[in-house]
Amino acid sequence: MHRITLISFLVLATTVSLAVSESGLCSWYNARRGAKTANGEGFDPNAMTAAHKTLPFNTKVRVTIGSRHAVVRINDRGPFVKGRILDVTPKVADILNLRQKGVAQCTVVRA
């Protein structure tokens, strides 16, 4: 009985970890430097970090917009605008050429 439960858990855990790939709208956000993020860190506009609604804190994901990409660490919750899947810092927005657009279609995959 325990063996079946353990095997089921391992299969489920593997499936969940591989299933984290999303496509949707990405935006960027700015907050007061040092303002607390959801995981308790101070906000740093120059950090390679992002906000996601459900991914565990410290998860690293690769964000792709067109031919540009960046690897970011999840340290905050959001975005809280319908249809958006990720908010990135100004530094990441610059790398992804997102600052002027404000919002763009992106793909997010675990790194």
Q: What are the tens digits of pLDDT across the range 61-100?
A: 999 999 999 999 999 999 999 999 999 999 999 999 999 9
pLDDT at 10 over 80: no
pTM metric for this prediction = 0.81
Nearest of 21, 22, 36, 37 to residue 78 by alpha carbon: 37
How far apart are alpha carbons 20 and 16 in whole angstroms?
7
Judge whether 23 and 105 are in contact, CB under 8 Å. yes
User: What CATH number labels 20-110?
Assistant: 2.40.40.10
